Structure 1
Amino acid sequence: MSSVDIQLHTALARAVAGVPHHELRGRLAQLSHRYRTEQVADTAPGIRDTLDALAYAVVRMPATFRALHAALSTVEHQPTTQVDLGGGTGAAAWAAAALWPSVTTEIVERQPAAIRLGRQLAAGNFPHNWRWTTRDVRDWTSPTTVDLITIGYVLNELTEQTRRDLIHTAAESATTIVIVEPGTPSGHRRTLAARELLIEHGLTIAAPCPHQGPCPVDWCHFAARLPRTELHRVLKDGTRNYEDEKFTYVVATRCPARPTPARVIARPGRPKNRVVLDVCTSTGAAQQVVVPKSSDAYRAARRTNWGDAWPQSS
């Protein structure tokens, strides 16, 4: 568990101290149903009050943080300014601050309860350079260009036209855009649609795709492993001390980009004396790479994980 994971879990534990678990469970069931069925925000408001915000933050924020951190880790150019659209309780801001402590962040969120909790969680951790704006992302505009816009787990809550409008506005307002969605087939399709729009606006795809062409697979997603606290296990009736957050993402930029030759798009297979990697290549094709133990690349292949660049840089 990283130091930022510990900070986040500690802040969450303080926030829920004294709140009955059965009350959190009740709200969690409602929020989980909304998340699984991908209901749009217009018809199913998400975080309505403080208890909703707490239930969401305890169970979803650590996973969202890990997925966003993984996606942001592929950004090559360090940003100095970030706008997080639909930022909820601040998971993307935590992820950016973990990578670039000096980044100045504006979090745009329409639910006051989420903003109140987000400020509470950040207090004592990242309070000095965050600004919270109460606003609906559907009518957000930026007066200036920012280095980085993050849109994490937001497109799944919007109608198709609203998604297009938001991507158009973001593309005109940022040097680099990072979009993260749930790692479902529908999340992959939404991300691909956003990717096409970003390319149309002149941005270059920097990750995860090593090319600018059509996606060669039906479903591309990744996984971020995160530790579960005791409270997390209790609320989710879980027995394992970890969970894997499945997500899909795209990073697009106006900066010079150096796409990797290939990226691992599935969990590596490690049968005896070889490593099997499913990769997406710079030619726009998906292929399988088998690295035998006799190969000089075997040791690097053993260290390679789902979502990593291949071959690994020295």
Structure 2
Amino acid sequence: MPFEPRSVTSDMASRSYGVCVICQRAAGVKMMFRGMSAVAHPQPQADFLKGELHRKHPGVTNLKTLRLPEELQMAAQSIIHGAQVPQLPERVRKVTNFLWSRKRAVEDVTLRQKGVSLEKELWEKAMQKRGDIDEQVLEDRIRKRVFSELRRTTYHWTPLKFDEEMGVVYMAARLAGGYAAVRRALNEIKKRDPSFAPQSLLDFGSGLGTVAWASHSCWGDTFKEMVCVDSSGAMNILAERLLKGDDERAEPHIKQVYFRQFLPVSPKVQFDLVVAAFTLSELPDAKGREEAVITLWRKTSSYLVLVENGTKEGHQMLMEARDTLVKKQEKTVHDPRPASVFAPCSHQMMCPKLAQESVTPCNFQQKYHPLPLPGHNDRQTEKFIYLILSRTEPAKAETEGVEWARLIAPVLRRTRHVHCKMCCPDGQLQHLVVTARKHSRDVYRCARNSDWGDQVPVIQKVEEDVVHSESE
């Protein structure tokens, strides 16, 4: 038979096919052994995870978008519908803006210092232009100018006054957002101290009774006594209506809730959980806030929770309260256990944000569904600041070398690394780039699954990972 040479193309194709088959088989065997190896030798999980998934690690305290308890929402809608408040959406907007832009009242000492400084400046200018003017006339003129300037430039703090109609407006504006902030703050205790089962609650400045609802959603019927204190009789009546579903004959949804207009007098009466939410901003001066905080701490047997708007003013007020309880000594000590910061700070030192040239508030956020009213979006975000103090020492990490830092900004997720702005246990603010190679796979995955407000474990600090120190 004549020789018929095979085509070059055909020969190369068959060889390529043979190589591909061999490669596929080899790859299959390799993958099989890799799979067997993974099954036979699973990577050990870090101790700090305590058996949890990375997305549910112990430092995660953020909550999904919150809804008001159904009974509370239905009662609020019933009351709002029955009240028929004129121009409700516009009044809700004004109240919201008023509360968010609110500042602390200017202290008398500060006002006097400002007045003396301004008077001195005006006298110096007058002396340079002095003619034949009568000194008494000049003094009167300068004094009037000082008073006029102080009135023009000084923030005029006014207290909120509640009647039945104003209470309904406030409820429409703040019920859902206030509930979301308190619920998120209380979740920190529930997550980090699962053995805590409070039997008594004191809510100072209880308003709509939001704290009682948020506490009940965390710990259910463990409470045997909930004391709600608010100086406004109208607000106490409104809070009781909410508990009864806007039906006077009905049983309250949460039992053992008692409304008072004054704090219990005896300093020996203590409560497992004491809360003051958006209350310090309603006190007219620093001395009043300090006395209130000390009184509340005396009545605390386990945890004191303070919550305010996420503004510079809210931050300053809570940092003042923090310093009062952590640094100052009481004249009469009824409970010798000192105050320790439980959250959000990861240390007991001064807030590093206060040392920055441009002070920004250390605030956090919680998404929530507002009341279904005209002008309300389906989802809103509550920015708030909170402080939790404990009678017990903060728990030590079970694993040697593990420290927990607080995320103070949203996490930026990038390919194989994440950017984390954190408040660290050494009292410094750090912008850390976390990678699996330098911080371990578990730490990296925890950081990637965390967000603003959560805590993240930091096994070790690597100098080249620190982009900059915000405290410098």
TM-score of the pair, normalised by structure 2: 0.60
Give the conservation status (yes or no) of the 8 Å contact 2:340–2:390. Answer: yes
Q: What is residue 96 of structure 2 aligned with on the other side?
A: 32
Q: What is residue 150 of structure 1 aligned with on the other side?
A: 275
Q: What is residue 68 of structure 1 aligned with on the other side?
A: 182
Distance (whole Å) between structure 1 residues aligned to residue 75 and residue 395 of structure 2: 37
Q: What is residue 84 of structure 1 aligned with on the other side?
A: 203
1:280 aligns with 2:419: no
Q: What is residue 182 of structure 1 aligned with on the other side?
A: 309
Give 1:213-252 correspondences, 5 Å limit: 213-217=349-353, 218=359, 219-231=361-373, 234=374, 237-238=375-376, 240-252=377-389
Structure 1 residue identity aligned to 2:339:
L
The 3-state SS of whatever aligns with 1:116 is: helix
Kindly tell me: are residues 298 and 10 of structure 1, through their superposed partners in 2, closer, same or farther at Cα, counting changes over 3 Å? farther
Kindly tell me: are residues 91 and 82 of structure 1, through their superposed partners in 2, closer, same or farther at Cα, counting changes over 3 Å? same
- Greater mean alpha carbon deviation, residues 265-274 or residues 40-49: 40-49
Distance (whole Å) between structure 2 residues aligned to residue 25 and residue 4 of structure 1: 20
Distance (whole Å) between structure 2 residues aligned to residue 14 and residue 293 of structure 1: 53
Displacement after TM superposition at 1:117 (Å): 1.2
1:306 aligns with 2:425: no
Q: What is residue 105 of structure 1 aligned with on the other side?
A: 226
Deviations 1:202-250 (A, max 9, x none): 201011111100111232110111113430xx2xx34x42111111111
The 3-state SS of whatever aligns with 2:410 is: coil
Distance (whole Å) between structure 1 residues aligned to residue 436 and residue 394 of structure 2: 33
Q: What is residue 120 of structure 1 aligned with on the other side?
A: 241
The 3-state SS of whatever aligns with 1:244 is: strand
Larger helix proportion of the pair:
2
Q: What is residue 59 of structure 1 aligned with on the other side?
A: 173
Q: What is residue 409 of structure 2 aligned with on the other side?
A: 266
Give the conservation status (yes or no) of the 8 Å contact 1:47–1:113. Answer: no
Structure 2 residue identity aligned to 1:255:
T
Displacement after TM superposition at 1:63 (Å): 0.7
Q: What is residue 13 of structure 1 aligned with on the other side?
A: 77
Distance (whole Å) between structure 2 residues aligned to residue 63 and residue 116 of structure 1: 21
Displacement after TM superposition at 1:19 (Å): 3.7
Distance (whole Å) between structure 2 residues aligned to residue 67 and residue 291 of structure 1: 29
Distance (whole Å) between structure 1 residues aligned to residue 319 and residue 72 of structure 2: 31
Give the conservation status (yes or no) of the 8 Å contact 1:28–1:52. Answer: no
Give 1:184-223 correspondences, 5 Å limit: 184-200=311-327, 201=329, 202-217=338-353, 218=359, 219-223=361-365
TM-score of the pair, normalised by structure 1: 0.87
Quick check: which has more Rg, 1 or 2? 2
Distance (whole Å) between structure 2 residues aligned to residue 277 and residue 6 of structure 1: 37
Give the conservation status (yes or no) of the 8 Å contact 2:96–2:174. Answer: no
The 3-state SS of whatever aligns with 1:270 is: strand
Deviations 1:152-178 (A, max 9, x none): 101112111100110111121212211
Identity of aligned residues (%): 26
- Greater mean alpha carbon deviation, residues 113-122 or residues 252-261: 252-261
Displacement after TM superposition at 1:84 (Å): 0.3
Distance (whole Å) between structure 2 residues aligned to residue 128 and residue 81 of structure 1: 12
Deviations 1:182-209 (A, max 9, x none): 1001111111010111113520101111
Deviations 1:49-68 (A, max 9, x none): 22211111122011111111
Displacement after TM superposition at 1:29 (Å): 4.5
Displacement after TM superposition at 1:3 (Å): 6.7
Give the conservation status (yes or no) of the 8 Å contact 2:176–2:371. Answer: no
Q: What is residue 297 of structure 2 aligned with on the other side?
A: 171
Distance (whole Å) between structure 2 residues aligned to residue 281 and residue 7 of structure 1: 41
Give the conservation status (yes or no) of the 8 Å contact 1:16–1:54. Answer: yes
Structure 2 residue identity aligned to 1:126:
H
Deviations 1:117-172 (A, max 9, x none): 1111112663312111123x6x9665511111101101112111100110111121
The 3-state SS of whatever aligns with 2:188 is: coil
Distance (whole Å) between structure 2 residues aligned to residue 161 and residue 147 of structure 1: 26
Q: Note the residue ranges of structure 1 that are not aligned, 5 or more in a row.
A: none
Kindly tell me: are residues 58 and 289 of structure 1, through their superposed partners in 2, closer, same or farther at Cα, counting changes over 3 Å? same
Distance (whole Å) between structure 1 residues aligned to residue 66 and residue 435 of structure 2: 33
Give the conservation status (yes or no) of the 8 Å contact 1:206–1:251. Answer: yes
Displacement after TM superposition at 1:21 (Å): 5.9
Give the conservation status (yes or no) of the 8 Å contact 1:24–1:54. Answer: no
Distance (whole Å) between structure 1 residues aligned to residue 297 and residue 286 of structure 2: 17
Kindly tell me: are residues 66 and 130 of structure 1, through their superposed partners in 2, closer, same or farther at Cα, counting changes over 3 Å? same
Distance (whole Å) between structure 1 residues aligned to residue 363 and residue 103 of structure 2: 21
Counterpart among 432, 441, 464 of residue 289 in structure 1: 432
Structure 2 residue identity aligned to 1:63:
G
Query: What is the aligned-residue RMSD (CA, Å)?
Result: 2.6
Give the conservation status (yes or no) of the 8 Å contact 1:47–1:114. Answer: no
Give the conservation status (yes or no) of the 8 Å contact 1:264–1:308. Answer: yes
Give the conservation status (yes or no) of the 8 Å contact 1:65–1:91. Answer: yes
Kindly tell me: are residues 276 and 39 of structure 1, through their superposed partners in 2, closer, same or farther at Cα, counting changes over 3 Å? closer
